[in-house]
């Protein structure tokens, strides 16, 4: 059921995935559903909705990633980082979250589904000092773009991009972008079966 739905959604979004990648994506949803009952990792309760609201909502960003090395800040159970890592085995992802139960879940996903291109780190973003900076900083869960930029300003390499995944955009939020950052692009995203607004904002530190 989930596998057939995933296949349909990928075709609708014009995203190609191998048989193994599709198995891993379905496996991720099944593990999230199982762990969620005990650890409350997401408010989304049905696997069908997890596939749409978490997996497809993450994969829709994939065509816009530039570079090799990314950090997913406030990743929660691994969103968008794990679906993106599955779809982009040639790229490297660091998944950052401050809650141990989320990190344990990610590590179990990595072990069971044999995904070797992400690293899970338990830390608050302002305390995390990477040895190597990133081509891109991803965030799907930050309250505001301004907060994301203020807390993550030390993470990208020079000319590295910030990727802010947002629902609705307000003029107030856009005008609150700090002066030392430039909005490079605003992309309207379409997620199958999701009747809600989705946007990707690409920003760079000047």
- The predicted model gives 28-44 an average pLDDT of 97
pLDDT at 26 over 90: yes
Q: Which pLDDT score is estimated for 30? A: 98
Q: Which pLDDT score is estimated for 6? A: 98
The dihedrals phi and psi of 62, each to the nearest 5 degrees, come to: -50, -45
R_g of the chain computed on alpha carbons: 16
How far apart (Å, rounded) are the C-alpha atoms in residues 95 and 108?
Answer: 14
pLDDT at 87 over 80: yes
Whether 27 has a binding-site annotation, put simply, is: no
Whether 125 has a binding-site annotation, put simply, is: yes
Whether 140 has a binding-site annotation, put simply, is: yes
pLDDT digits (tens, 9 = 90+) for 131-183: 999 999 999 977 799 999 999 999 999 999 999 999 999 999 999 999 999 99
Q: Largest Cα–Cα distance of the chain, in whole Å?
A: 48
The residue length of the chain stands at 206
Q: What is the crossing angle of helices 2-13 and 19-39, to 10°?
A: 120
Whether 74 has a binding-site annotation, put simply, is: yes
Q: Which pLDDT score is estimated for 66? A: 98
Q: Which pLDDT score is estimated for 187? A: 98
**pLDDT > 70: percent of the chain:** 100
Q: Which of 185, 176, 187, 119 is nearest to 148 (CA)?
A: 176
The answer to whether 128 touches 121, Cβ cutoff 8 Å, is yes
**Is this model's pTM higher than 0.95 or not?**
yes
Tell me the Ramachandran region of residue 78: left when phi exceeds 0, alpha when psi lies from -120 to 50, beta otherwise. left
Whether 94 has a binding-site annotation, put simply, is: no
Q: Which pLDDT score is estimated for 142? A: 78
Say if strands 156-166 and 118-122 run parallel, antiparallel, or are unpaired: unpaired
| Mean model confidence pLDDT for the chain | 97
How far apart (Å, rounded) are the C-alpha atoms in residues 124 and 97?
Answer: 7
pLDDT digits (tens, 9 = 90+) for 99-141: 999 999 999 999 999 999 999 999 999 999 999 999 999 999 7
Q: Which pLDDT score is estimated for 143? A: 79
pLDDT category at 25 given cuts 50, 70, 90 is very high
Helices (H), 40-170: 47-50, 57-59, 81-87, 100-113, 145-152
């Amino acid at each position: 059921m989930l596998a057939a739905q995933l296949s349909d959604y990928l075709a609708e979004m014009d995203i190609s995935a191998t048989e193994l990648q599709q198995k891993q994506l379905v496996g991720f949803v099944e593990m999230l559903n199982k762990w969620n009952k005990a650890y409350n990792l997401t408010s989304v309760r049905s696997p069908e909705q997890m596939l749409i609201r978490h997996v497809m909502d993450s994969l829709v960003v994939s065509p816009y990633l530039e570079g090799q090395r990314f950090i997913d800040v406030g990743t929660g159970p691994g969103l968008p980082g794990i679906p993106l890592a599955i779809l982009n085995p040639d790229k490297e992802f660091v998944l950052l979250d401050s809650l141990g139960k989320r990190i344990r879940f990610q590590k179990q996903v990595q072990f069971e589904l044999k995904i070797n291109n992400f690293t899970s780190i338990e830390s608050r973003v302002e305390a995390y000092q990477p040895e190597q900076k990133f081509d891109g900083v991803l965030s799907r869960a930050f309250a505001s773009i301004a907060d994301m930029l203020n807390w993550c300003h030390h993470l990208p390499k020079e000319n590295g991009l910030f990727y802010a995944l947002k629902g609705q955009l307000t003029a107030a939020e856009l005008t609150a972008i700090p002066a030392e950052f430039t909005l490079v692009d605003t992309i309207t995203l379409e997620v199958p079966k999701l009747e809600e607004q989705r946007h990707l904002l690409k920003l760079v530190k000047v």
